[in-house]
Amino acid sequence: MVKNKISRNLKARIRKSKKDLSTNIKNFFDWVKGAELIELQECDINKDPVRPELDNDFRTSYGRKIYGVKYKNEIHAVMCFAFTNQIPKSVHELDLFSRDAFLQSATRDQNVGKIAIAYTVWSNKKGGGKLIVKEVFKMIKKSNHLNRLVTLSPLTDMARNFHLRNGADEIQVNDDTQNFEYKIIK
C-alpha cells in the first residue's frame, strides 16, 4: 500500500515535470520567434558585464552602433559594434581603427569599415546571447560592405566558450583580449 502511494506520487511528479518542461520550451520558442533585432540609441551601461566603462557616447560615435533583441517592448540582449578595416587587439585600437574607418568613409561611399567588431554582448534572458549573435550575423550577411564579423572579447574562458559554442573560430589571443571570427559566406 505504501509502495503504491509512493509510485502514484512519483508518477504525478513526473507528469507535472513533463508539463512544466513543455510549457518552458513553448515559452522559450515563442520569445525567440517573436524577437526582433533593432538599433538602439543608448543602453544601460551598468548592465554590461564586459565593458561598463564605455559610455553611450563612445558606443554611438564614429559609426559605432548598439543593437538589441527586442521582445514585447523589452530589450533582452545587447551587442555593441565598431566598424573598422583592421582587427583591433585592445579597446584603444578599436577606438583608433573605428575613427579611421569612419573618417575614410566620409570621403568615399559613407559605408564605415569592412569589418564589424563586436566588443561587448550581454543577455537578460536565457538564449538571448545566442539569438543576438544569430540575428546580427544575418544582418551583416545582408550588408553590401561588411565582409567579416570579428569579436574583441575579454580574455576569459566564458567568452572563449561562448564564441566557440556559437560557431566562431579563434583567430588570435592578445595581451588582454582575444579575437574570434564568425565566417560570413555571401
Query: Do 122 and 90 fall into the same domain?
Result: yes
Query: Do 177 and 115 fall into the same domain?
Result: yes
pTM summary value: 0.77
In this structure, which long-range contacts are made by residues 95-100, counting pairs with CB atoms below 8 Å and at least 24 apart in sequence?
95/58, 95/62, 98/62, 98/63, 98/64, 99/62
Cα 120 to Cα 68: distance, rounded to the nearest angstrom: 12
Cβ neighbours of residue 175 closer than 8 Å, sequence gap 6 or more: 89, 90
pLDDT of residue 130: 83
pLDDT, one tens digit per residue, over 25-47 is 444 444 456 688 899 999 999 99
pLDDT, one tens digit per residue, over 101-137 is 998 877 666 667 789 999 999 998 888 888 888 888 8
Query: Do 63 and 15 fall into the same domain?
Result: no
Query: Do 12 and 55 fall into the same domain?
Result: no
Query: Do 126 and 173 fall into the same domain?
Result: yes
Domain tally, the chain:
2
Query: Do 78 and 154 fall into the same domain?
Result: yes
Query: Do 27 and 51 fall into the same domain?
Result: no
86, three cell numbers: 583592421
Percent over 90 (pLDDT), the chain: 51
Residue 123 sits in a domain whose CATH number is 3.40.630.30
DSSP tag of 48: -
Query: Do 24 and 86 fall into the same domain?
Result: no
Query: Do 47 and 8 fall into the same domain?
Result: no
Query: Do 18 and 57 fall into the same domain?
Result: no
Query: Do 19 and 46 fall into the same domain?
Result: no
Query: Do 93 and 174 fall into the same domain?
Result: yes
Query: The domain containing residue 126 runs over which residues?
Result: 37-182
Cα 28 to Cα 8: distance, rounded to the nearest angstrom: 30
